Structure 1
Amino acid sequence: MRQLKLIWDFRGPASQKTAEHHVIHLKDFINRSKLKLDITGVETFNDMHSLAFLVVEESEMIAVRDALKPHRGQVYKD
């Protein structure tokens, strides 16, 4: 089964801290929803752009997307 990376972009001087805080909420969602995967993280590109991500099985993507409204997504390659 394909894995998809759902992404939330954050911009501005507090982008990294905001992304790190968002991951806390994503982990709570994983536990409440009993998702199959527990893969989250933060990627920082520079001091003005960071992102938070959650990896889901393709079969769970639509429900998670509708509940959490990510900014974008892509196929996950670990």
Structure 2
Amino acid sequence: MSRQIKLIWDFRGSAAAKTAEHHEIHLKEYIAIEKLPITITGFELKNDMHAIAYIVVNDEQMIPLRDALKPHRGELYIP
């Protein structure tokens, strides 16, 4: 089994939660348009001024999707 990488977009400020939630919608649209075999996306509220949106990809998908989608950071995904 290959490693899974969580590509993360950070949003800060009073509208961070809504922005992260909306960004996840665009990630799901991209997955559908490109017909990618990706099933894990989401958004998380870290605190009232910081939220993230994320997509979990396989190691092989990471570089092309990183270059196309420009996440702010990435980390190993541990379910």
TM-score by length of 1: 0.95
8 Å CA contact retained: 1:5, 1:55: yes
Say which SS state the counterpart of residue 35 (structure 1) adopts: coil
Task: State the alpha-carbon separation in 2 of the partners of residues 9 and 52 from structure 1.
Answer: 7
Q: Does 1:63 align with 2:70?
A: no
Count of residue pairs brought into register by the alignment: 78
Task: State the alpha-carbon separation in 2 of the partners of residues 36 and 2 from structure 1.
Answer: 15
Give structure 2 stretches of 5+ with no counterpart.
Answer: none
Task: State the alpha-carbon separation in 2 of the partners of residues 34 and 68 from structure 1.
Answer: 15
Aligned match of 2:45: 44
Give structure 1 stretches of 5+ with no counterpart.
Answer: none
AA aligned to 1:22 is H
TM-score by length of 2: 0.94
Q: Tell me the CA shift for residue 20 of structure 1.
A: 0.2
Task: State the alpha-carbon separation in 1 of the partners of residues 5 and 33 from structure 2.
Answer: 19
Q: RMSD across aligned C-alpha pairs, in angstroms?
A: 0.7
Identity of aligned residues (%): 60
Q: Tell me the CA shift for residue 75 of structure 1.
A: 0.7
Task: State the alpha-carbon separation in 2 of the partners of residues 59 and 19 from structure 1.
Answer: 25
Say which SS state the counterpart of residue 14 (structure 2) adopts: coil
Aligned match of 2:20: 19
AA aligned to 1:71 is H
Q: Tell me the CA shift for residue 37 of structure 1.
A: 1.8
